Amino acid sequence: MSGARILVADDDEVLRRLVTHVLTREGYQVVAAGNGEEVLQHVMARRPDAIILDAMMPGIDGLEVLHALRQGETTKDIPVIMLSARSQERDVVRGFDFGANDYLGKPFKPGELLVRLKRLIGADSTPDRDGAA
């Protein structure tokens, strides 16, 4: 059985690739998006098990995406980790106010991201080291 489906959204291609690599190495299925519009399209096409979402993206930013997700009946409970260079207290509080389940500042430690993700999606959705759920 394959791992949980994670949507990684960041306008920085290098960071998207890094997070994708970290997650796929752990057995997760990863879909990547470079902007808020792509995030919403992916979510409507196939609901992910969790989203790792940058706050600052061109067009629809991460907070607007988060707000839209929290308003949708079928998307309001998708776990979202905000991953942002904006990590001042006011930014973190704002992320939680918009409905983030967790908030991680950049630069980040891959191991910490994995632990936070596993905590959010639960043991049943977490792949083991062989990639099985």
Provide the residue-wise pLDDT of the chain in tens; the chain has 133 residues: 258 999 999 999 999 999 999 999 999 999 999 999 999 999 999 999 999 999 999 899 999 999 999 999 999 999 999 999 988 999 999 999 999 999 999 999 999 999 999 999 985 444 444 443 3
pLDDT the model gives residue 79: 98
Query: 101 is in which domain, residue-wise?
Result: 5-125
Residue 133 maps to a domain: no
pLDDT the model gives residue 38: 96
pLDDT the model gives residue 97: 96
CA distance 63 to 56: 8
CATH of the domain at 22: 3.40.50.2300
Residue 132 maps to a domain: no
Total domains present in the chain: 1
Among the residues of the chain, which ranges form H helices? 13-25, 36-45, 62-71, 89-98, 110-121
